[in-house]
């Protein structure tokens, strides 16, 4: 590819470039096996919750046939005695997923929930014969999912009783809904300063509305010199009340680092000085970090929490996400403090669907906004999706502290990370904050370390930053992602440790070195 074509390609987002490279890699010149380490989609799945889902579907069909049964047509389930009938249906001795469901019954009792009601919610949710009611999230689902978030993200801070949840179509919809409702409710206005911890998951940089805001990337930017950690001094800049909102991916993508206790303490200090600061934290990789603590548990009144089941449970096709918000929060407070004119306009906006629009909480406004308000009565995540979230969550809750599944997922990405860095001969970052779900290879630094400064300069001066990536795809059949699209520096390549068989990671390392050696030969030849 010539330099012009490469420049044009660089204008596209990281995911679009990656798509272009897939085609090149599939018919690579060396006829190597094609390896796509560009995407974050995991190559594992959770089987326990899925098996339980299908058992509950079968049970739900039997239950439905109790009230009407005429060939394929059945009736509705009945609450009375449903838990006992489920127990009679289950065969825990023969079937591990039935043992899991037996454990679930004991667990929900321990939570103080009514077992019959939980079973009916699970069954009806899976059967899917009613609109989601309440539309924001099903009743028992909210309690169970709150316990899950508390267990995996809050680091011992108890918030499960004060947190309201909204079940969404993945983290993707959660992000879209949040942006939209912040804007519609005039909590962020064109020209406002919004801080962001770059490099960051591209959608945060690509949402077109963002052009209306003044993006303050301040010095939260993490880079290789500081090991992709956010510096406490940088966080201090959030004390400026001109900064309205702070969008975080934690652990970050592509840096894969979580905020450490020092950074969390600085966030707390910043919020004390800037009490109206709105924080949105996307914690989809939180479970990959030992002793992870979310920003939500440090400054709960100021933070919207985004979670997704996609990564840990291998469930990107299901579209399973959550938004969490504290019952006493800055978003509701700021809406109450809006100018009278804005208040009136908003009252009119939500008046269509609620009797007292001025009392409508921000989280419920998000639910209404997600369906253009007019369709509020049919809003909400599909009930089978909600139950799938609940079952994934329960696999963890029932396992308690010994969650072998969660530990295995961490071990898988850590092994791949080690193999990759060993084969590249690069130092590893084994700090507890490193999620190792992704890693960043600084190509220019690698070039300098192996062949010296002149070679580094030759690479940066003579080639577009994506030239190496394109050749890696075209010649060697390996697709990595350009970090520039995430706001990283030129030459930063993102490798996903999630989506290829473990044995391929050494191969990726050796192929990167092989291609680099070819560039070096060219460099020597032209000297
Ligand atoms: C993968 C990813 C998401 C997307 O989550 P979905 O639930 O699959 O929509 C959100 N945020 C970040 C940072 C991600 O990496």
Q: Are 75 and 65 in contact (CB under 8 A)?
A: yes
Phi-psi region of 216 (alpha: psi -120 to 50; beta: other; left: phi over 0): beta
pLDDT digits (tens, 9 = 90+) for 328-352: 999 999 999 999 999 999 999 999 8
C-alpha torsion sign, points 126, 132, 135, 139: negative
The pLDDT > 70 percentage for the chain reads 94
**How far apart are the CA of 277 and the centre of ligand 1, in A?**
24
* Mutation pick for ligand 1 pocket among 171, 392, 483 (CB with most ligand atoms within 8 Å): 171
Gap between the Cα atoms of 362 and 327, Å rounded: 10
pLDDT at res. 1: 76
Domains of the chain from N-terminus onward: 3-40+404-526 (3.90.1150.10), 47-130 (1.10.20.110), 139-392 (3.40.640.10)
**How far apart are the CA of 172 and the centre of ligand 1, in A?**
6
Given the structure tokens 């970050």, which residue do they identify?
A: 252
**How far apart are the CA of 171 and the centre of ligand 1, in A?**
5
Give the chain's mean pLDDT: 92
Gap between the Cα atoms of 508 and 510, Å rounded: 6
* Mutation pick for ligand 1 pocket among 15, 167, 168, 253 (CB with most ligand atoms within 8 Å): 253
Which residues sit with their C-beta closer than 6 Å to ligand 1? 40, 170-172, 201, 249, 253, 282, 284, 308, 310, 316, 321
Q: Are 100 and 86 in contact (CB under 8 A)?
A: no
Residues 259-296 as b/e (b if ≥16 CB within 10 A, e otherwise) read bbeebbebbeebbeebeebbbbbbbbbbbbbeebbbbb
pLDDT at res. 220: 52
Provide mean pLDDT across the span 111-125.
98
Least confident segment among 103-112, 254-263, 375-384: 254-263
Nearest to 380 by CA among 123, 131, 128: 131
pLDDT digits (tens, 9 = 90+) for 41-75: 999 999 999 999 999 999 999 999 999 999 999 99
pLDDT at res. 219: 46
Gap between the Cα atoms of 149 and 140, Å rounded: 14
Q: List Cα–Cα distances, 246 to 167, 278, 484, in angstroms.
A: 22, 6, 21
C-alpha torsion sign, points 348, 352, 355, 361: negative
Does 316 have pLDDT greater than 70? yes
Per-residue confidence band for 184, with pLDDT thresholds at 50, 70 and 90: very high
Given the structure tokens 């070096």, which residue do they identify?
A: 520
**How far apart are the CA of 252 and the centre of ligand 1, in A?**
11
pLDDT digits (tens, 9 = 90+) for 480-489: 988 887 777 8
pLDDT at res. 369: 96
Phi, psi of 192 (to 5 degrees): -65, 155
Does 13 have pLDDT greater than 90? no
**Ligand 1 atom nearest to 311, measured from its CA:** 1
**How far apart are the CA of 407 and the centre of ligand 1, in A?**
21
Helix (H) or strand (E) holding 481: strand 481-482
Per-residue confidence band for 2, with pLDDT thresholds at 50, 70 and 90: confident
Provide mean pLDDT across the span 303-313.
98
- Residue minimizing CA distance to atom 3 of ligand 1: 171
Report residue 70 CA to chain centroid gap. 44
Gap between the Cα atoms of 334 and 243, Å rounded: 14
Q: Are 101 and 55 in contact (CB under 8 A)?
A: yes
Given the structure tokens 């509705």, which residue do they identify?
A: 76
pLDDT digits (tens, 9 = 90+) for 205-244: 666 566 667 666 654 555 666 666 667 778 888 999 999 9
- Cβ partners under 8 Å of residue 274, min gap 6: 238, 239, 240, 241, 243
Provide mean pLDDT across the span 469-485.
88
Instruction: Kindly report the pTM of this predicted structure.
Output: 0.94
């Amino acid at each position: 590819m010539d330099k012009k074509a490469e420049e044009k390609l660089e204008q596209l987002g990281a995911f679009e470039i990656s798509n272009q490279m897939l085609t090149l890699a599939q018919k690579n010149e060396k006829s190597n096996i094609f390896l796509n380490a560009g995407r974050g989609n995991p190559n594992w799945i959770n089987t326990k919750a899925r098996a339980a889902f299908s058992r509950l579907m079968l049970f739900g069909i039997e239950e439905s046939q109790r009230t009407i049964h005429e060939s394929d047509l059945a009736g509705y389930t009945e609450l009375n005695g449903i838990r006992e009938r489920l127990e009679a249906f289950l065969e825990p001795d023969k079937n591990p997923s039935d043992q899991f469901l037996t454990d679930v019954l004991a667990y929900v009792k321990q939570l103080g929930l009514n077992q019959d009601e939980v079973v009916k919610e699970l069954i009806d949710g899976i059967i899917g014969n009613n609109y989601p009611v309440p539309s924001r999230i099903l009743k028992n689902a909210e309690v169970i999912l709150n316990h899950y978030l508390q267990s995996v993200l809050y680091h011992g801070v108890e918030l499960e009783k004060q947190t309201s949840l909204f079940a969404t179509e993945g983290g993707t919809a959660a992000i879209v809904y949040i942006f939209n409702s912040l804007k519609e409710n005039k909590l962020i206005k064109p020209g406002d300063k919004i801080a962001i911890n770059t490099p960051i998951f591209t959608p945060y940089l690509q949402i077109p509305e963002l052009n209306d805001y003044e993006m303050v990337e301040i010095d939260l930017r993490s880079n290789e010199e500081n090991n992709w950690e956010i510096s406490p001094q940088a966080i201090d800049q959030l004390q400026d009340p001109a900064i309205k909102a702070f969008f975080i991916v934690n652990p970050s993508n592509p840096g894969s680092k979580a905020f450490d206790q020092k950074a969390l303490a600085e966030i707390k200090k910043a919020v004390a000085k800037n009490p109206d600061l709105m924080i949105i934290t996307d914690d989809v990789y939180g479970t990959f970090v030992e002793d992870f603590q979310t920003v939500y548990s440090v400054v709960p009144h100021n933070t919207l929490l985004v979670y997704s089941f996609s990564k840990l449970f291998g469930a990107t096709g299901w579209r399973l996400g959550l938004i969490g918000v504290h019952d006493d929060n800055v978003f509701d407070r700021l809406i109450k403090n809006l100018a009278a004119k804005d208040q009136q306009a908003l009252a009119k906006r939500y008046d269509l669907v609620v009797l007292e629009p001025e009392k409508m909480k921000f989280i419920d406004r998000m639910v209404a906004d997600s369906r253009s308000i007019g369709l509020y009565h049919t809003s909400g995540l599909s009930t089978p999706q909600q139950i799938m979230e609940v079952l994934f969550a329960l696999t963890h809750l029932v396992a308690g502290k010994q969650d072998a599944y969660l530990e295995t997922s961490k071990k898988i990405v850590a092994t791949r990370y080690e193999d990759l860095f060993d084969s590249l001969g690069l130092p590893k970052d084994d700090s507890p904050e490193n999620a190792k779900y992704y890693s960043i290879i600084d190509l220019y630094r690698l070039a300098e370390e192996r062949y010296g400064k002149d070679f580094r300069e030759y690479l940066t001066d003579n080639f577009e930053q994506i030239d190496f990536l394109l050749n890696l795809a075209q010649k060697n059949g390996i697709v990595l992602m350009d970090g520039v699209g995430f706001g990283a520096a030129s030459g930063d390549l993102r490798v996903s440790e999630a989506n290829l068989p473990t044995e391929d990671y050494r191969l990726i390392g050796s192929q990167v070195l092989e291609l680099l050696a070819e560039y070096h030969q060219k460099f020597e030849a032209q000297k």
